[in-house]
Chains A and B, each alone.
Chain A
Amino acid sequence: MTATTANAADNSGARAPKKASYSPDLRREIKKIAPWDFTLLAAVVLLLGLGTVMVYSATINESTLFDGDGAARVKTHLIHICVGVFALLTAMFFPYKQLRKLVYPALFFTLGLLFLVILVGTEAGNARRWLSFPGFNFQPAELAKLVFVIFLAHSITKKGGRIRQFTVAFVPHFIVLSALILMCLFQPDFGTSVLLVVLMFTLLFVAGTRVSYIVLFVFVGGFLAFQAIASNDMRLGRVLAAIDPWAHRMGRGYQMVNSQIAIGSGEWTGQGLGFGGQTLTGHLPEGETDFILSVIAEQLGVIGVLLVAGLFALILFRGIRIALKTEDAFGRFLAFGITLLIVLQATINMLVAVALVPTKGLTLPFVSYGGSSMLICAVGLGILLNISRSHGIEVVRDLAPRQQPPSDGGDGGAKPKPRKKRGAKASPKARRGSIFSGAKGGQFKEKDKRKRKDRKKPRRQTIDEVLS
């Protein structure tokens, strides 16, 4: 792709001035220079497909019994996916920089929802985690994860170099974190709390906070965590069961043992789709949510596990790549945060499934059954895709000829060079204006037109049109 662009640039350098009436097909240009990260999208689509099949396989028995229709759960799951795809598309085309404006309202909105959960939440199992709406339930803790990531990205970007300071790095984030965790622990939702803490420290670490501070926190927090675990015999039991689940196989270790059995009995190629003994006989609990990896492993064997792990590795790779490539600090941290959110959940879920970590109640993103998780992950992915493209869009915009060449040394040459003070000086609004007013006419149009003159109906589009 880079080679093509360079070629085009070389060619245009020689012949562009000759044709003044050239109007570039911007959609095409952007596709070439700033494509959607289709690899990432493909990985997710594969996971969604696999998830659908596996949810069907894991729920068919219970659904037949409870709902009278074996496909009842998978139908709901498909509805979740539809909603998720819609949310994904929306987030894809929603410029992520706008999110900075929404950070604080979203944060307060989330806190409000979490508070509502405490007041009027729906109970299931031993926890009160859901808000009931007519037609669907929603789990605000899932929203809290994404909002917290956006908030951290925004806040870290804002802090800049001061992040190295202890007070600046920890105090404001800690306040927000405490509020969220407090709300989560009321539910109680230990898994989300741990995830939020890990997210915060990881992002602060990435942002450049001193490692010694984090180490200090880990020690203090570790001690507190020990106290917290030892003071509640449910948590203690979980930890003890996680240490040796086989000794508690009829009690707290039941899920872990049966998950291991399910995975292990899959062998190389699995028992075949729809043939998981542990799943069908109901010995594997929560097969469609927490332990869907076990279902996959049992039915598809090593192949299935490697497929899932590979797809998540791909998501990690693409996500980190987007983060590294993004020039915008907010975009970088946001991309990293969302990647982290998705992959960390996946990792913890997988570690739980193989019984290396106590049961947390975290789902496998894009695979597990669960509307809130699906929606939030889809939104996160949409944002990630948006970020992935924004970098290229800026390149295109910078390359695009302008009516008025930028005053600060706009080169307009073949070498794409982002403007220096764009992100720093201009307000978001001003920047948006500059983005969208950037590509209007210019030498590239001529070049492109000339190059593809056999085109039947050249379309002229502004970059605004393309992006909207």
Chain B
Amino acid sequence: MSRGNSNTRASDEQSVRSELPPVRLNTIRRRMLVVAVVLAAGMTIATGRAVMLQTVDSAVMKREAAGNYVRSETIDAWRGDIIDRKGGLLAVSVNRWAVTVDPSTIKEPAKVAQALAPIVGKTADQIHERIDPATAVPVHEQTTQHPSIRIARKTATPMVKLLERMWQTPRERLDRRLDVLERFMQLDQLRDRAIFQLVDTLADAAERTAGALHADVNSLRFFPSRGRRFAYVARDLDDQQIRELTREREAWNKRCREARKRNEACRNPLLAVLTRPEPRRYYPKRESGAQLLGLVGRDGKGLSGIERAMDAILAGGQTAVSTIRDNRGRRIYLDGIPDSAALAGSNVQLSIDLQIQAAAEREIAKACLSSGARAGYAVVMRVGTGEVLAAANFPNYNPNTFQTWFADRRPLTAERAALAKRRDDLSWASKWSFNTAAFPDLHADYERESFRSLNEQIDAYVEYQHRFPNASRNTAFLDVYEPGSVMKIFTAAAALEEDAIDLSQVFDLEKGDWELHDADDNVIHDVSKMKRGDLARIIKKSSNIGAAKIAFELGAERLDAYLRRFGFGSQTGSGVPGEARGLLRPAAQWVPVELANVSFGQGMAATGIQIVTALAALGNGGTLMRPLVVRRLVSEDGTVLREFEPEKVRQVVSERTARTVLDLMRGVTEPDGTGRRAYIPGYPVAGKTGTGQKPHLRKRGYSEAMWVNTFVGLAPADNPELAIVILVDEPTGKNHGGGLIAAPAFQKIMRFSLDYLGVPSPYEAGKRQAWLDPDVLARRRAMPTDDNDPLERHGPPVDVARSGDVPVPDFRGMTMDEVRQQATSLGLLVWLQGSGVAVAQTIPAHERVRVGSHVTISFNPRAPGVALDPSMLDNPLDRMPALPEGDHPQGEQRVVLPIHGDAMPGGVHPAQIPQAPNGREGARDGGIR
């Protein structure tokens, strides 16, 4: 190596045309070696660092790497179906797709939007708006917070300004200013000179900034969603559309490959577009039971109704799988693709019967529409088990297109948003109050004006919400109404159970107006004004005064306790989420008039499910059942996972009392009862009408114009199978009332359901038509009867063998032969006193006695068909001879009662039956003024 040293030097020296000696070769070689060593050192550092990363830090790095692409994902199970009690599909999940993008990866949004538009069925502009990366640039990094910058700020003073200018880019400043401008524009106060000038200044600033950016100020946009890494392009696409998207993407790929071969730039616009499956809930029966079923959100979570209550069961388990995901979101399942069958959620079988549900929906809609009501509901319950067979609400909506429905309700949303915004603006303006000192009057005017219009808007909002009720709301379970007179049956049941009254007790009905003489001088009114009447009559004619008097006999504490035992004031436990508790103040807080009010269903409020459950308890021999909405859980292959058994909650009243109340309620559907329109040929029906008042929307007290018409009923009354509650909210017609509007709906639903369920009539087929058909009955009563002909028999035949506990029939108006025949068929022993037609009996009608009991019947020598002398009824006790005590083995028949005039058979023509004026009855005038 040292060989050619001197020679090279010499040769170089000769070639150089300068006076300087050439650089020594050793120097050159030494310097080369120095450089080589430096390079080697650099490579050693790099290698050393790499090896250090691979050995010392490898655990950390491996963890980071796993964090990058190994994901532990949970796969949601396929949401289970909801089926009705016969297995009909109510809610199913269908496979749909969503198209998404990461806006930060979109290079040519216009092109992407153009390519996507025909596939997803939106305009290119709409898509562009969503995916434009200009609205979604990455979140600005906090460079100002970096420690090195802080050091630089302290040390390199001259640099600070330069750096600061860099961080505060014009774009950001512009955004800030335009944001302020926007806030101002929302105030309608641009006419204010000071504000206008301020806005003008800001707009000018915006113009200048736009000029600096070489941008048009009008084209500048605000970026509410800046920093997005995810955006939906379209959702709810079907397989066909996704196939089309895939095909289109492949076509673009091919096109681009060819373009790249020709050495042209080509970017596949659909490459950054991602798809993901989004199962969607579909309701094949559309409106049927929609409110009860509820809705499922986009994320697959149940939002309301059964979907929410049973969410955990329907959604099924989640399976944790570990996957590898690349930066395009494509994944590899490390443990294989999980078995979809194992993942499926359970199906939920409801107690709802689709047929009955449909009938109920049809009838409640008819009732509401024909009466111009704003809303209504009908609930059908099976008495023995507490199963809810139908829960129909009006108005209805189609959950499959609930977005459209929601859009229809948009005005309400807009109202609410406008209110919120206005409130914001006002608080903002008052906080700033930039020119209050300069323009005090103006500011005061502004405030006053603002708050006045705010109040108007709130009024409009309340009005709107009232007029257009939320159709997706399960009103029967979630909303409370003051039920009105239907509560009288529970008052009566409580009083009978506590022996506070007896059936023979006659109440002074005050000729329709009863002044309570309390602090507020409250007066209770009746629609049908009567002088006096017993319990049967009070129920039949729906006397508020009578109910109040019964309640006073009973006392507040006992009434309260019984109502609570019937389930009022607490959730029934049906499992429907958000079920209301109802309003029932504790008895200790009641004022006297409140006791009266509660007795006929005012001053308290209940849900439909509460009423129908309590009603079914009466039909079920006094046993309150827990309402059953979900019947069983069924797995995907059909095996029953869990059966929800009927559950007894408590025995509210004795069976005897319950049957007595039912017998009383049968009077309501008799031709002269308030609920005669609920009469079903062939079946005895126990019912009760109700007409409740509604409070004013915005002030105290009850409205004169808003009513709630209700009807509750059970059939067949002697052995109830079904209980139904009907409520019609605010019928607008001139004539209304529970008997006029709700009862026909009840009749139709009940009739259909009885036929549908095959509930046998308690009467023989041949006797059906004869019994209680109002026309036939009227005619028969006007005519002499042939007792031997079973078709012409007035009273219902009673199957003795069925029960050892029979109701005492109403013997009044019967001849001796008839009485004997009736008593024989029932198994009662009778003592007959006097002759003629029966006018009184020792055991009141509807009272339940054991077979073989003795009843003493007084006869008066009158021809059948001749009305009784009313004076005879005035003092009944005087006329009845005292009976020997030993004649009454049960010791429960104490007095022989006179009979109300209107209930007397014979000469009373149905047309003469006193009716409520305008068809109204019930609690109309009973309220507290």
Q: Which residues of chain B are near A424, meaning CB under 8 Å?
A: 10-15
**Contacts known (A306-B47, A353-B46, A356-B46); A420 close to B32, Cβ less than 8 A:** no
The reply to whether B253 and A282 contact each other, CB–CB distance below 8 Å, is no
A203 to chain B, nearest CB (A): 9
Docked pose: A202 CA to B32 CA in angstroms = 9
Of the candidates A65, A252, A313, which one forms a contact with B40 in the assembled complex, judged by CB atoms under 8 Å apart?
A313
Pick from A208, A261, A325: contact of B68, CB below 8 A: A261
Contact with A along B1-33 (1 / 0, CB 8 A): 100100110111111101011111001110111
Query: Assuming the A-B contacts A61-B326, A202-B35, are A208 and B54 also in contact, with contact meaning beta carbons closer than 8 angstroms in the complex?
Result: no
CB-defined contacts of B325 to chain A, threshold 8 Å:
281
Chain B interface residue count, Cβ-Cβ cutoff 8 angstroms = 74
Select one of A65, A162, A316 contacting B271, CB under 8 A: A65
**Given contacts A165-B20, A302-B55, A320-B36, A421 and B46 within 8 Å (CB-CB):** no
Binds A, one of B72-80, B140-148, B389-397: B140-148
Q: By the criterion CB–CB under 8 Å, are B45 and A351 in contact?
A: yes
Q: Of B1, B60, B263, which one neighbours A264 at CB under 8 angstroms? A: B60
Q: Is the CB of A323 within 8 A of B32?
A: yes
Residue of A nearest to B38 (CB): A202
Question: Quick check: B23 and A161 within 8 Å, CB to CB?
Answer: yes
Whether a CB of chain B sits under 8 angstroms from the CB of A265 is: yes
CA of A313 to CA of B40 in the docked complex: distance in angstroms? 7
**Per-residue interface assignment for chain A, residues 263 to 296, with 1 indicating a CB less than 8 Å from any chain B CB and 0 otherwise:** 1111110000000011011110000000001000
CB of B49 closer than 8 Å to a CB of A: yes
Residues of A within 8 A of B29 (CB): 324
Given the interface pairs A324-B1, A351-B46, A420-B11, the reply to whether A281 lies near B55 with Cβ below 8 Å is no
Report the separation of the CA atoms of residues A161 and B324 in the bound assembly, to the nearest whole angstrom: 63
A282→B328 contact, CB < 8 A: yes
B residues near A266, Cβ cutoff 8 Å: 54, 58
Is B62 an interface position by the 8 A CB rule? yes
Pick the residue among B28, B61, B162 that contacts A206 (CB under 8 A).
B28
Chain B residues near A324: list those with CB within 8 A. Answer: 1, 29, 32-33
Q: Is the CB of B8 within 8 A of A329?
A: yes
Complex CA gap A135/B676 in Å reads 96
Residue A21 lies at the interface, judged by CB distance under 8 Å to chain B? no
Complex alpha-carbon distance, A135 and B263, angstroms = 7
Cβ of A248 within 8 Å of any chain B Cβ, yes or no, is yes
Query: CA separation between A202 and B61, bound complex, in Å?
Result: 36
Cα A92 to Cα B204 with chains together (Å): 69
Q: Is the C-beta of A75 less than 8 angstroms from some C-beta in chain B?
A: no
Q: By the criterion CB–CB under 8 Å, are B7 and A418 in contact?
A: yes
**Which of A160, A208, A312, A332 sits near B16, CB closer than 8 Å?**
A160
Tell me whether A236 and B166 are in contact (CB under 8 A).
Answer: yes
Q: What is the bound-complex CA distance between A356 and B41, given in angstroms?
A: 14
A165 to B19, CA, bound (A): 11
Q: Does B402 contact A (CB under 8 A)?
A: no
Please tell me if the beta carbons of B263 and A260 are within 8 angstroms of each other in the complex.
Answer: no
CB <8 Å contact, B138 and A264: no
B257 interfacial by beta-carbon distance below 8 Å: yes
Is there an interface contact between B55 and A283, defined as CB atoms closer than 8 Å? no
> Is there an interface contact between A278 and B68, defined as CB atoms closer than 8 Å?
yes
Min C-beta distance of A177 to chain B, whole Å: 18
Give the contact stretch, choosing among A36-44, A338-346, A366-374: A338-346
Q: Are A277 and B69 in contact (CB under 8 A)?
A: yes
Closest B residue to A415 by CB, please name it: B3
Chain B, Cβ-Cβ closest to A122: B265
Residues in B with CB closer than 8 Å to A293 are: 50
Whether A208 and B31, one on each chain, are in contact in the complex, defined by CB atoms closer than 8 angstroms, is: yes
Q: Is B256 an interface residue (CB 8 A)?
A: yes
State whether the Cβ of A250 lies closer than 8 Å to any Cβ in chain B: yes
Interface contact A305-B54, CB-CB below 8 Å: yes
Q: A207-B23, A354-B53, A356-B46 are in contact. Are A418 and B4 (CB under 8 A)?
A: yes
Q: Are A260 and B53 in contact (CB under 8 A)?
A: yes
| B326–A281 CB distance below 8 A | yes
Query: When the two chains form their complex, are residues B7 and A267 in contact, meaning their CB atoms are under 8 A apart?
Result: no
Interchain CB contact under 8 A, B43 and A264: no
Closest to A162 in B: B18
* In the bound complex, CA of A309 to CA of B44 (Å): 8
Write out the residue numbers on chain B whose beta carbons fall within 8 Å of the beta carbon of A464.
none
Pair A340/B39 contact, Cβ less than 8 Å: yes
A418 to B21, CA, bound (A): 22
Asked if A297 lies at the interface with its beta carbon under 8 angstroms from chain B, I say: yes
CB of B696 closer than 8 Å to a CB of A: no
B61–A260 contact, CB under 8 A?
Answer: yes
Instruction: Report the bound CA distance from A115 to B402 in whole Å.
Output: 63
Residues from chain A with Cβ under 8 Å of B403 in the complex: none
CB-contact partner of A237 in B4, B20, B53, B143, under 8 A: B143
Q: For chain B residues 146-184, which have a beta carbon within 8 Å of chain A?
A: 146, 148-149, 159, 162-163, 166
Range of interface residues on A (Cβ < 8 Å): 35 or more
Contacts of B912 on A, CB cut-off 8 Å?
A: none
In angstroms, Cα B61 to Cα A258, docked, is: 9
**Which residues on the A side are within 8 Å of B51 (C-beta)?**
302, 305-306
Distance (whole angstroms) from the CB of B905 to the closest CB of chain A: 92
* A317 closest partner in B (C-beta): B36
Distance in Å: Cβ of A62 to nearest Cβ of chain B: 10
Contacts of A325 in B (CB 8 A): 1
Query: Quick check: B23 and A252 within 8 Å, CB to CB?
Result: no
Please give, as numbers and ranges, the residues of chain A lying within 8 Å of B166 by CB-CB distance: 233, 236
User: Which residues of the other chain, A, contact B141 by a CB distance below 8 angstroms?
Assistant: 237, 248, 251-252
Least Cβ–Cβ distance between A73 and chain B, in angstroms: 12
Is residue A422 within 8 Å, beta carbon to beta carbon, of the partner chain? yes
Please encode chain A, from 101 to 139, with 1 for each CB lying within 8 Å of some chain B CB and 0 for all others. 000000000000000000000100000000010111100
Q: Given the known inter-chain contacts A134-B263, A164-B20, A424-B15, please indicate yes or no for A313 contacting B7, CB distance below 8 A.
A: no
Q: Distance (Å) between the CB of B140 and the closest chain A CB? A: 9
Closest to A253 in B: B141
In Å, the complex CA distance between A302 and B50 comes to 8
User: Which residues of A are found within 8 Å of B33, using beta-carbon distances?
Assistant: 320, 324
Which among A132, A281, A347 is the interface contact of B46 at CB below 8 angstroms? A347
Residue of A at shortest CB range from B27? Answer: A208
How far apart are B430's CB and chain A's nearest CB, in angstroms? Answer: 41
Contact partners of B875 in chain A: CB under 8 A:
none
Given the complex of chains A and B, what is the CA–CA distance between A182 and B42 in angstroms?
Answer: 28
- Residues of B near A66 (CB, < 8 A) are 253, 256-257, 268, 271
Is there a chain B Cβ closer than 8 Å to A350's Cβ? Answer: yes
B47 touches A264 (CB 8 A): no
Chain A: minimal CB distance from B542 (Å): 73
Q: Does A68 contact B (CB under 8 A)?
A: yes
Chain B residues whose C-beta falls within 8 Å of the C-beta of A247 in the assembled complex: 146
User: Does residue B57 face the partner (Cβ distance < 8 Å to A)?
Assistant: yes
Bitwise, A386-422 to B at CB < 8 A (1) or not (0) is 0000000000000000000000000000000010111
Is the CB of B260 closer than 8 A to any CB of chain A? yes
Q: Which of B28, B43, B62 contacts A312 (CB 8 A)?
A: B43
B contact residues around A251 at 8 Å (CB)? 138, 141
Q: How far, in angstroms, from A278 to B12 measured CA to CA in the complex?
A: 55
Cβ-defined contact, A316 with B50, below 8 A: no
Question: A261 contacts B46, CB within 8 Å?
Answer: no
- Bound: A88/B654 CA distance, A: 110
By the criterion CB–CB under 8 Å, are B39 and A316 in contact?
yes
Q: A237-B143, A343-B39 are in contact. Are A282 and B148 (CB under 8 A)?
A: no
A-B contacts besides A164-B23, A313-B43, A351-B45, 14 pairs, CB < 8 Å: A67-B260, A159-B16, A162-B20, A163-B23, A244-B146, A248-B141, A260-B61, A267-B55, A267-B62, A268-B55, A283-B327, A305-B47, A316-B39, A340-B39
6 contacts between A and B (CB under 8 A): A160-B16, A161-B13, A206-B28, A261-B61, A317-B36, A422-B11
10 tightest A-B CB contacts, nearest first: A264-B61, A208-B23, A160-B16, A350-B46, A424-B11, A161-B20, A281-B326, A264-B53, A161-B22, A281-B69
Q: Which residues on B are within 8 Å of A, measured CB to CB?
A: 1, 4, 7-8, 10-16, 18, 20-24, 27-29, 31-33, 35-36, 39-40, 42-47, 49-51, 53-55, 57-58, 60-62, 64-66, 68-70, 138, 141, 143, 146, 148-149, 159, 162-163, 166, 253-254, 256-257, 260, 263, 265, 268, 271, 324-328
